[in-house]
């Protein structure tokens, strides 16, 4: 599936550099040619010899290599590839890419290339969550840089959390999807999914019954049609699909910030069951039972409306904005009103009253509502609803 594709693989200086060697091997198994480039820091983790042996080609390391530079080697190297993959992408490399620095071979190649760049971040959880890295990631996404991972998990440093490099088979799948010539190839689609959690105090929260199954299926279906998908998910019970860029959030406010950070996108599908309200008087410490039996009185304020915010954007609005309306009564009337009120192009309406078994279940029965009218779909597995919707999105973006 990667036959004849030429991948320039920049290996950064992190512990996960050893996994990049496995990635070279697996990409070559699938027919790709891989040219490795090591940063000076990467050479502390893997040797040029092992990268070169696995790639069966020269491993590049030095910007001022006279032999190569007689032919402007760095420009040629950056242009000859079909795709540039940065794996692992260190916090440092991400920052250099944002700043446009070019003070070694890796950063110069990244600045000189005219090809798509896919970064595979791997770093300590604090480094990943640092505001500087958050800013850099947002900026790179808006520059069109593709991301694979990171994911939550145990780290070499002993900590646990987001920042762990996505597993090698998933990186291979993401790389394959970049070359996929499906009808959505070259398109970026934002999908939100899952519930949000709105804290009452540091240990309690208000949630809803969304499992994330429908949003996950939609992201996978869009990916299968070749889209580059950014998947912003609340704490769902269904794991996110492989081969998409996952951003995990908890609250509606975080979801809005992540969704805005993921733009520009050609289409946005807001599947998440976002809480309408957040607790206005949330406790900074755990709220204790009162000796006199008095009960806590929670007060609420409205959460930001993510669909309306994006639907009503002027410049930078995705060409197609799709909302979901999960209702328990007067489904079509509520959903039709939502279409106009929120500036959406389509609303996918479904009845989630408990008797339907849809919320948390495997099937869905939806009606697609647009300016052209209502189109009821039969009750179908969530994957089939997702596949139909993805095909419709591909048609709309033609
Ligand atoms: C043992 C060790 C492990 C490291 N692991 C990582 C890592 O996983 N991710 C990261 O961003 N930086 C990591 N660093 C820091 C980078 O090596 C350092 O920022 C370096 O300047 C990166 O250079 P490069 O981006 O040119 O490869 C690590 C450093 C050490 C000493």
What pLDDT digit, counting tens, does each position of 225-274 carry? 988 889 999 999 998 887 788 889 999 999 999 999 888 889 999 999 99
Q: Where are the domains of the chain?
A: 6-180, 188-397
- Rounded mean pLDDT, 50-62: 95
Q: How buried is 78 (Cβ within 10 angstroms: 0-12 exposed, 13-18 middle, 19+ buried)?
A: buried
Q: Is 241 in contact with 220 (CB distance < 8 Å)? A: yes
CA dist list (Å): 68 to 41, 65, 82, 288: 21, 6, 20, 69
pTM of the entire structure?
0.60
Q: Which residues pair with residue 231 across a beta bridge?
A: 191, 246
How confident is residue 76, by pLDDT bands cut at 50, 70 and 90? confident
Give distance in angstroms: CA of 90 to centre of ligand 1.
6
Least confident among 104-113, 184-193, 353-362: 353-362
How confident is residue 72, by pLDDT bands cut at 50, 70 and 90? low
pLDDT of residue 58: 93
Give distance in angstroms: CA of 145 to centre of ligand 1.
21
End-to-end CA gap in the chain: 25
Q: How many CA atoms lie within 13 A of 187 on its CB side?
A: 28
What's the chain's average pLDDT?
91
- Rounded mean pLDDT, 315-324: 93
Is 324 annotated in a binding site? The answer is yes
Residue from 18, 37, 41 to probe ligand 1 pocket by mutation (most atoms less than 8 Å from CB): 41
Q: Are both 6-180 and 188-397 of the same fold? A: yes
Q: Is 90 in the pocket of ligand 1 (CB under 6 A)?
A: yes
Nearest Cα residue to atom 16 of ligand 1: 13
The correct CATH number of 188-397 out of 3.40.50.1010, 3.40.50.10300, 3.40.30.10, 3.40.50.1370 is 3.40.50.10300
- pLDDT tens string 138-160: 889 878 888 888 888 787 778 88
DSSP H helices in the chain = 17-29, 48-55, 66-69, 73-80, 91-99, 105-112, 125-129, 131-142, 168-179, 213-224, 252-262, 306-311, 331-342, 382-396
Rounded distance between C-alpha atoms, residue 282 and residue 198, angstroms: 9
- Rounded mean pLDDT, 304-331: 92
Give distance in angstroms: CA of 17 to centre of ligand 1.
10
Name the more confident of 98 and 152: 98
Q: Is 92 in the pocket of ligand 1 (CB under 6 A)?
A: yes
Instruction: Say whether domain 6-180 belongs to CATH 1.25.10.10.
Output: no
Is 342 annotated in a binding site? The answer is yes
Rg of the chain (C-alpha set): 23
- Tell me the longest C-alpha to C-alpha distance in the chain: 84
Q: Is 192 in contact with 251 (CB distance < 8 Å)? A: no
Is 286 annotated in a binding site? The answer is yes
| Catalytic site residue from 157, 203, 280, 337 | 157
pLDDT of residue 356: 78
CA dist list (Å): 24 to 11, 57, 114, 168: 11, 11, 22, 10
- Specify the ligand 1 atom closest to the Cα of 127: 11
Whether residue 66 has pLDDT greater than 60: no
Is 304 annotated in a binding site? The answer is yes
Count other C-beta atoms under 10 Å from residue 53's C-beta: 13
Nearest Cα residue to atom 4 of ligand 1: 14
Catalytic site includes residue 87:
no
């Amino acid at each position: 599936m990667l036959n004849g594709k030429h991948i320039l693989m920049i290996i950064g200086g992190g512990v996960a550099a050893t996994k990049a060697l496995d990635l070279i091997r697996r990409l070559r198994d699938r027919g790709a040619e891989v040219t490795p480039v090591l940063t000076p820091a990467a050479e502390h983790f893997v040797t040029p010899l092992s990268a070169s042996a696995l790639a069966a080609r020269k491993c590049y390391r030095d910007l001022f290599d006279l032999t190569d530079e007689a032919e402007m080697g760095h420009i040629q190297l950056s242009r000859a590839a079909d795709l540039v993959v940065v794996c692992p992408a260190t916090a440092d490399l991400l920052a250099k890419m944002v700043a446009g620095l070019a003070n070694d071979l890796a950063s110069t190649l990244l600045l000189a290339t005219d090809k798509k760049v896919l970064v595979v971040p791997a770093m300590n959880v604090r480094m990943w969550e640092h505001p500087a890295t958050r800013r850099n990631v947002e900026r790179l996404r808006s520059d069109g840089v593709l991301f694979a991972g990171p994911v939550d998990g145990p780290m070499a440093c002993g900590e646990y959390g987001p920042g762990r490099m996505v597993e090698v088979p998933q990186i291979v799948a993401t790389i394959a999807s970049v070359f996929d010539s499906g009808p959505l190839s070259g398109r970026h689609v934002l999908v939100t999914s899952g519930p949000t959690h709105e804290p009452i105090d540091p240990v309690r929260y208000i949630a809803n019954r969304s499992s994330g199954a429908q949003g996950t299926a939609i992201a996978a279906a869009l990916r299968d049609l070749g889209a580059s998908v950014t998947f912003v998910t609340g704490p769902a019970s269904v794991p996110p699909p492989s081969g998409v860029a996952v951003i995990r959030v908890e609250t509606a406010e975080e979801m809005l910030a992540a969704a805005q950070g993921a733009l520009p996108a050609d289409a946005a599908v807001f599947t998440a069951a976002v809480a309408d309200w957040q607790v206005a008087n949330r406790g900074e410490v755990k709220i204790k039972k009162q000796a006199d039996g008095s009960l806590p009185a929670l007060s609420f304020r409205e959460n930001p409306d993510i669909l309306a915010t994006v639907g009503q954007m002027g410049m930078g609005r995705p060409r197609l904005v799709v909302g979901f309306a999960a209702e328990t009564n007067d489904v079509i009337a509520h959903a039709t009103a939502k279409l106009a009120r929120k500036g959406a192009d389509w609303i996918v309406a479904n009845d989630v009253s408990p008797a339907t078994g849809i919320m948390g279940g495997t099937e869905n029965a939806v009606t697609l509502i647009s300016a052209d009218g209502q189109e009821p779909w039969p009750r179908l597995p969530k994957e089939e609803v997702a596949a139909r919707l993805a095909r419709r999105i591909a048609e709309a973006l033609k």
